[in-house]
């Protein structure tokens, strides 16, 4: 697998299929292509060496091409051992991208590839989950002085970065791409909502209608999953720890209960909390026979799989990304995608059109960071609202949708206080 040539992918002969998938993704990523067109002319990323730890999917491939069009050199690895699309990785390697990634990579390879990215001496980092930033701070700290900034794609990564900032451990500026409205209000809600169910269905092939589906966590991702599951005819149960979110779930029409109760009723349990051991060792024996478990949170620690392996008498992989555990009682519990992000481990992640918005955020955040590097604080930086608005406009244009604009009279009215009843 090691080509010794600046890449390590599963099989370079998959490149042709990868290019087809990339082109198909790009056909739905018009907003990002608009950014690419401008980048090709203006080359705003000239001189940038971008270290990338993202899910190497066809959509990420479209971002990679866009950043390169802007003049950047890239070194790419995965941010999850199961999320690489091998054909896409092959196509990118074939296009001359330094990429080290394959689906199912070992933990050793995962960290070796992160090291390869660090050794490319990036002056900008692009992360989904903060493993690259963490690796740089822990083991390659000599790089931090030459790093202009980095960007973080996901909620879990932002939480880790804020914890680093709090501890005075974060040593270079980070752009909170996840916090753009055009990212989290769409990617987390629509993207995770659809792709999580896609992953569970590809793994298990079950019918959702009539099932009791428990969703743990009612943030933007969990609420997206709940509404899609409901739309497919499931009876949705929500578990939460945060009172306002629990109340939202109740008023959205779902039953809210503790996980200890939910495990007794659920046919499918989906964790998406960002927390740890939301399904713990004690829960397994209380589950219904045939319960299906899936995780859509960033890390594979929401379901206590070590605990399950401990109590189970047998584990068999019965389909791709679908393991059956036998408990001492004879009951079975099924786990999708080894408890890793089910939408990427068992399916293809969020649809391209959703990722177009998220990745416009990445491309434009990189451009902004380079232009404004002297104004960024060492810590987590919010991205200006104008960029958010611009992304929405690009996406509306790509969709061929026109919207209204305020008349002068309306604008004056909205900024005045004199007019009343
Ligand atoms: N995260 C979720 N879905 C994704 C996708 N399709 N590509 C890259 N990152 C993702």
DSSP string, 51-77: EEES--SHHHHHHHHHHHHTT-EEEEE
Structure tokens at 63: 């971002």
Over the stretch 83-129, which tens digit does the pLDDT of each residue have? 999 999 999 999 999 999 999 999 999 999 999 999 999 999 999 99
The neighbour count for residue 187, using CB atoms within 10 Å, is 27
* Residues 6+ away with beta carbon under 8 Å from 134: 160
240-257 pLDDT tens trace: 999 999 999 999 999 999
Please give the Cα distance from 44 to 364 (Å, whole number).
10
The partner residues of 325 in beta bridges, in order of sequence, read 315, 333
Residue with tokens 């809210």: 256
Buried residues in 147-165 as b, exposed as e (16+ CB within 10 A): bbbbbbbbbbbbebbeebe
Report the distance separating Cα 292 and Cα 314, nearest Å.
16
- CATH class of domain segment(s) 2-183+350-399: alpha beta
Percent of the chain with pLDDT over 90: 98
Residue 350 near ligand 1, beta carbon < 6 Å: yes
**How would residue 420 be classed by pLDDT, with cut points 50, 70 and 90?**
confident
Q: Which residues contact 389 (CB under 8 A, 6 or more apart)?
A: none
**Which atom of ligand 1 lies nearest, measured to the CA of 195?**
3
The answer on pLDDT for 283 being more than 70 is: yes
Domains 2-183+350-399 and 192-345 share a fold: yes
Dist CA 99 CA 97 (whole Å) = 6
Local confidence band at 2 (pLDDT 50, 70, 90 cut-offs): very low
What interhelical angle do 220-231 and 243-251 show, nearest 10? 20
Provide the token pair at 97.
């991208």
- The ranges assigned to domains in the chain are 2-183+350-399, 192-345
CA of 233 to the centre of ligand 1 (A): 26
Residue 4: pLDDT band with limits 50, 70, 90: low
Q: Among 344, 352, 353, 362, say which to mutate for ligand 1: greatest number of ligand atoms within 8 Å of CB.
A: 344
Atom 5 of ligand 1: nearest residue by CA position:
349
How far is the CA of 294 from the CAs of 141, 205, 270, 273, in angstroms? 36, 14, 5, 12
CB of 55 within 6 A of ligand 1: the answer is yes
Whole-number Å distance between alpha carbons of 83 and 102: 8
Q: Which of 29, 55, 177, 362 has most ligand 1 atoms within 8 Å of its beta carbon, as the pocket-test mutant?
A: 55
Q: Is 60 in the pocket of ligand 1 (CB under 6 A)?
A: yes
Task: Output the average pLDDT for the chain.
Answer: 97
Instruction: Report pTM.
Output: 0.95
192-345: CATH number: 3.40.50.720
What pLDDT, in 10s, does the model give residues 341-400?
999 999 999 999 999 999 999 999 999 999 999 999 999 999 999 999 999 999 999 999
């Amino acid at each position: 697998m090691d080509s010794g040539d600046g890449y390590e992918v599963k099989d370079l002969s998959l490149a042709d299929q990868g290019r087809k998938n990339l082109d198909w993704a790009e056909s739905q990523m018009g907003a990002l292509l608009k950014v690419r067109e401008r980048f090709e002319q203006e080359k705003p990323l000239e001189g940038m060496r971008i270290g990338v730890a993202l899910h190497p999917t066809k959509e990420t491939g479209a971002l990679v091409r866009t950043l390169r069009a802007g003049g950047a050199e890239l070194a790419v690895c995965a941010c999850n051992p199961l999320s690489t699309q091998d054909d896409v990785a092959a196509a990118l390697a074939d296009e001359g991208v330094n990429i080290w990634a394959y689906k199912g990579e070992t933990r050793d390879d995962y960290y070796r590839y992160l090291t390869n990215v660090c050794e490319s001496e990036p002056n900008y980092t692009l992360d989904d989950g903060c493993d690259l930033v963490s690796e740089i701070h822990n083991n390659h700290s000599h790089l931090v002085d030459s790093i202009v900034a980095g960007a973080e794609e996901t909620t879990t990564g932002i939480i880790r970065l804020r914890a680093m900032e709090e501890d005075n451990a974060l040593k270079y500026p980070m752009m909170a791409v996840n916090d753009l409205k055009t990212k989290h209000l769409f990617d987390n809600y629509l993207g995770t909502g659809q792709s999580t169910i896609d992953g569970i269905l590809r793994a298990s092939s079950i019918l959702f209608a009539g099932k009791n589906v428990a969703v743990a966590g009612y943030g933007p991702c969990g609420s997206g999953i709940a509404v899609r599951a409901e739309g497919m005819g499931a009876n949705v149960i929500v578990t939460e720890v945060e009172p306002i979110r629990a109340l939202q779930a109740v008023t959205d029409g779902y039953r809210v209960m503790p996980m200890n109760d939910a495990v007794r009723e659920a046919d499918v349990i989906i964790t998406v909390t960002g927390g740890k051991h939301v399904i713990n060792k004690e829960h397994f024996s209380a589950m219904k026979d045939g319960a299906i478990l899936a995780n859509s949170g960033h890390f594979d620690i929401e379901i206590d799989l070590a605990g399950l392996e401990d109590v189970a008498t047998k584990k068999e992989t019965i389909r791709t990304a679908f393991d059956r555990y036998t408990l001492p009682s004879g009951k079975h519990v099924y786990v999708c995608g080894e408890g890793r992000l089910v939408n990427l481990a068992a399916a293809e992640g969020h649809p391209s059109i959703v990722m177009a918005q998220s990745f416009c955020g990445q491309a434009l955040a990189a451009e902004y960071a380079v232009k404004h590097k002297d104004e960024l604080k060492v810590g987590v930086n919010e991205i200006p609202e104008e960029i958010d608005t611009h992304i929405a406009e690009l996406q509306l244009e790509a969709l061929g949708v026109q919207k209204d604009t305020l008349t002068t009279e309306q604008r004056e009215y909205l900024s005045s206080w004199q007019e009343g009843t």
